[in-house]
Amino acid sequence: MPSEFEIIERYFNWPSPGAVLGVGDDAALVRAGPGMDLAVATDMLVAGRHFPRDTDPARLGHKALAVNLSDLAAMGAHPRWALLALALPEADEAWLRAFAQGLAALARAHGVDLVGGDTTHGPLNVCVTVMGEVPDGAALRRDGAKAGDDVWVSGTLGDAALALADLQQQVRLAPQEAAAVLPRLETPTPRVALGMALRGIAHAAIDVSDGLAADLGHVLKRSGVAATIELARLPLSDALRARLADERAAGWILGGGDDYELCFTAPAGVREVIEDLGRDVGVPVTRIGRVDAGAGLTVLDGDGRPLRLAKAGFDHFG
Ligand code: ADP
Ligand code: MG
């Protein structure tokens, strides 16, 4: 059995060219560029709560970082550094190797250095902290939406919820449908380039981690505005579109978690700019509604009637 120090040395002591000092001292040293704010976020994944205990370790390593990068993307920040706090029930080296590889591959793809963390014995728990840079005053915040803005969303919605329903045998997806939506649940793609490209263009942004209705609701509340979105305009995968007649479909689309898409608002004058930058970064962006004066979210169904939102997103204590 490797010791705690051998685990760190073998699996988590990577080169960190972007830091002043990486793993190995009492604290890492990082330096933000001149005129940059440091955007800092942390997200914890608990076995049995956020993922099954037997989840593929490489995919778990990816997801633990991806959900954090998604938070930085939603701020328009450029990810630079990460910390990893890990509680492990046992020192399973095959598991650790795969987990570290999954984490490292995504970190490398984004030029993120793992600069430190903590390793302890306990029920499986993965907590990643990320830091990124954003020019002073340019962060995309939740409180900037204005009446008259369009509401946009990236990618497609509800695929992770549909994949989870399939894993839990609540639906039966065809193999090619499962192959399309399972990666959305297990190895989500943080929309980092899109978030950075939206600096100076979007008025407000959030990443969709608890379902569109809940997350857009946070933006509206923080901004002191209302919005109306149309169910028929929401971007959907073929697998989800094929299940629109299912009474659970609206729940997957509006209330399913784990989409990790960006929802943002922007003035109508920049519609073409946004469509162009979506093409530039290779992420489809769809205009789904409008911000108005007032409070609360209205979702219109296919006939233009307001939908009753039974369960607006996932709340761990709800
Ligand atoms: P301390 O007792 O001072 O907290 P530790 O023994 O916990 O130090 O950690 C030693 C070094 O290894 C520190 O630089 C710490 O940031 C790093 N480290 C510990 N666990 C991890 C991990 N899971 N991933 C990355 N770095 C880690
Ligand atoms: Mg420590």
pLDDT of residue 312: 47
pLDDT of residue 318: 42
Cα 261 from Cα 208, distance rounded (Å): 5
CA 189 to ligand 1 centroid distance, Å: 27
Nearest CA to ligand 1 atom 13: 24
- Overall size of the chain counted in residues: 318
Nearest CA to ligand 1 atom 26: 116
pLDDT of residue 14: 94
* Identity of residue 1: M
Q: Is the CB of 117 inside a 6 Å radius of any atom of ligand 1?
A: yes
C-alpha distances (whole Å) from 155 to each of 14, 50, 84, 85, 214 are: 32, 22, 28, 30, 18
Tens of pLDDT along the chain (318 residues) come to 889 999 999 999 999 999 999 999 999 999 999 999 999 999 999 999 999 999 999 999 999 999 999 999 999 999 999 999 999 999 999 999 999 999 999 999 999 999 999 999 999 999 999 999 999 999 999 999 999 999 999 999 999 999 999 999 999 999 999 999 999 999 999 999 999 999 999 999 999 999 999 999 999 999 999 999 999 999 999 999 999 999 999 999 999 889 999 999 999 999 999 999 999 999 999 999 999 999 999 999 989 999 887 654 444 444
Cα 227 from Cα 291, distance rounded (Å): 4
Q: Is the CB of 81 inside a 6 Å radius of any atom of ligand 1?
A: no
Q: Is the CB of 8 inside a 6 Å radius of any atom of ligand 1?
A: yes
Q: Is the CB of 12 inside a 6 Å radius of any atom of ligand 1?
A: yes
Q: Are 165 and 171 in contact (CB under 8 A)?
A: yes
Question: How far is C-alpha 28 from the chain's CA centre?
Answer: 25
Q: Is the CB of 116 inside a 6 Å radius of any atom of ligand 1?
A: yes
Name the 3-class secondary structure at 238: helix
Nearest to 69 by CA among 186, 180, 207: 207
Nearest CA to ligand 1 atom 2: 26
